[in-house]
């Protein structure tokens, strides 16, 4: 069986971005939960930036090959939060915000590298650029994916925290069929449409903003 080396290289250059996306996402959940008064993430060893602690290997493979995957969820005990409702929301949005911050930092680094090291060996520059581009784009994808209001994603947890008391039966019914809904969205390509358009829009905004800011100083 012939190995597609282009595919192998593409996967290898995606892995740093995926590890960063998953690690910072889950670390942010753990950190904010701890700041809100819950030490469960600390007891579970999740308040760390060590990637292997946060990686779910099946989710890693799925994200690498299909663009949709998951990390190992951080367990929290909302009853320990100083303010349960606020704590639930802050912990839920912490992961996506962390992904956006990683994407923003990577976009600045990308532009700085392209400006300062444009005389670097082109093969090396291409590898660095692809890794940084993957870091920007895949962190944006991971952010958007987790903001979708579908269990067990972060966006659903925010929605549930805000509206559950007044719509208990509706939430319970939705949770019952949520896996089917998620699989159907992926299978019929709807997820690509939902994520791709905003992802490319945010990517362009971050890179163009970085270019504008870097051009002022360099």
Catalytic residues: 26
Q: Cα(197)–Cα(213) distance, rounded to whole angstroms? A: 24
Place of tokens 């209001």: 149
**Residue 69: phi, psi to the nearest 5?**
-160, -170
Two tokens, residue 115:
């400006």
Q: Cα(33)–Cα(91) distance, rounded to whole angstroms? A: 6
């Amino acid at each position: 069986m012939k190995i597609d080396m282009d595919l192998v290289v593409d996967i290898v250059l995606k892995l740093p971005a995926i590890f960063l996306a998953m690690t910072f996402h889950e670390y942010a959940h753990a950190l904010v939960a701890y700041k809100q008064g819950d030490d469960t993430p600390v007891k579970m060893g999740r308040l760390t930036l060590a990637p292997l602690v946060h990686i779910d290997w099946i989710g890693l493979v799925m994200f690498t090959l299909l663009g949709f995957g998951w990390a190992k969820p951080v367990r929290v005990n909302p009853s320990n939060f100083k303010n349960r409702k606020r704590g639930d929301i802050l912990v839920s949005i912490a992961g996506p915000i962390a992904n956006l911050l990683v994407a923003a930092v990577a976009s600045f680094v990308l532009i700085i590298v392209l400006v300062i090291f444009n005389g670097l060996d082109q093969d090396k520059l291409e590898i660095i650029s692809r890794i940084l581009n993957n870091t920007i784009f895949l962190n944006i994808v991971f952010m958007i994916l987790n903001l979708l209001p579908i269990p067990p994603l972060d966006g659903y947890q925010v929605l549930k925290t805000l509206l559950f008391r007044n719509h208990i039966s509706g939430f319970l019914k939705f949770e019952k069929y949520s896996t089917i809904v998620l699989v159907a969205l992926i299978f019929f390509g709807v997820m690509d449409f939902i994520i791709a358009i905003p992802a490319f829009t945010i990517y362009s905004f971050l890179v163009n903003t970085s270019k504008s800011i870097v051009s002022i100083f360099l």
